[in-house]
């Protein structure tokens, strides 16, 4: 089952060939339960997501906002383990055929064992990992094992990254580049959108890899705006919030599937 980086690359290339951005959805494993989380991943793919990132819940998710922190807390109190994260990847990928990555902080992998984690993720049909807090200069061991098993290593770049640093990060990464910015938190949405667009331009100058933007996108209008300059639009908190606010799981699943459909229309750039 290894080699799913090829599926990820083919999926992103297919979106590009259709003159649209890919829709990348994020959902944490184990939320609202392990089984419910697996159903939620299937629902966003059924709604129109091209790629899914499954979050490995962490007790100190420093880069995540309040919504995802709340979901992580629920998952951790429910006793979620790495085995549950891998099961989520395996069952979601097997049911849908879509590329499924894991997004995780480095500490849980380091404790679990790099070679063990990579081997099990590849066996589960995973496409790779997004590692927001692993410095590129400390990533050689991870990349060696990931490459051996055909897994993507997705690094995160930010508007604060200097051009030389961008080149170092993109040269080490594979699959796609995750361009992180925040829409509507600092300054106006227009100016932050411009900042994200500039980050994509600077990143593309260093790599042939697709550049996907995580920007606090929550609706089709914003998705269309980001799709105008990025290869992929990453949406997480908006899906998680629907599950948090839903009266029960079936209502939550229906809501995330519907949002995925709206966003999938948005990324088609009209």
Catalytic residue status for 53: yes
pLDDT reading at 184 higher than 60: no
Which of 64, 72, 195, 225 is flagged as catalytic?
Answer: 64
pLDDT tens digits, 41-52 = 999 999 999 999
pLDDT value, residue 120? 98
Distance CA(236)–CA(156), nearest Å, equals 15
What is the distance between the alpha carbons of residues 229 and 223, in angstroms, rounded to a whole number?
11
Domain boundaries, the chain: 4-267
- Catalytic (active site) residue 64: yes
Percent of the chain with pLDDT over 70: 93
pLDDT band per the 50, 70, 90 thresholds, residue 182: low
Catalytic residue among 39, 50, 53, 84: 53
190-219 residue pLDDT tens: 555 788 999 999 999 999 999 999 978 899
Selecting from 3.40.605.10, 3.30.470.30, 3.20.20.70, 3.40.190.10, what CATH number does the domain 4-267 have? 3.20.20.70
CA R_g for the chain: 17
């Amino acid at each position: 089952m290894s080699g799913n980086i090829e599926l990820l690359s083919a999926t992103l290339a297919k979106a590009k060939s259709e003159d649209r951005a890919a829709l990348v959805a994020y959902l944490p494993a184990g939320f609202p339960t392990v089984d419910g989380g697996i159903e939620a991943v299937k629902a966003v793919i059924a709604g129109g997501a091209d790629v899914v990132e499954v979050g490995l819940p962490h007790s100190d998710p420093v880069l995540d906002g309040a919504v995802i922190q709340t979901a992580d807390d629920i998952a951790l109190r429910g006793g979620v383990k790495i085995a549950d994260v891998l099961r989520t990847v395996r069952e979601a990928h097997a049911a849908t055929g879509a590329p499924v990555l894991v997004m995780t902080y480095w500490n849980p992998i380091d404790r679990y064992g790099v070679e063990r984690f990579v081997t099990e993720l590849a066996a589960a049909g995973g496409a790779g990992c997004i590692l927001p807090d692993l410095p590129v200069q400390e990533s050689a061991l991870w990349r060696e094992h990931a490459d051996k098993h055909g897994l993507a290593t997705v690094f995160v770049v930010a508007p604060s990254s200097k051009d030389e640093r961008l080149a170092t990060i993109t040269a080490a990464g594979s699959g796609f580049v995750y361009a992180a910015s925040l829409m509507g938190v600092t300054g106006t949405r227009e100016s932050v959108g411009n900042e994200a667009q500039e980050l994509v331009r600077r990143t593309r100058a260093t790599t042939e890899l697709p550049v996907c933007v995580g920007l606090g996108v929550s609706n089709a209008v914003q998705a269309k705006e980001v799709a105008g300059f990025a290869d992929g639009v990453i949406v997480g908190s908006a899906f998680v919030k629907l599950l948090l606010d839903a009266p029960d799981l079936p209502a939550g699943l229906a809501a995330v599937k519907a949002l995925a459909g709206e966003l999938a229309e948005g990324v088609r750039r009209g």
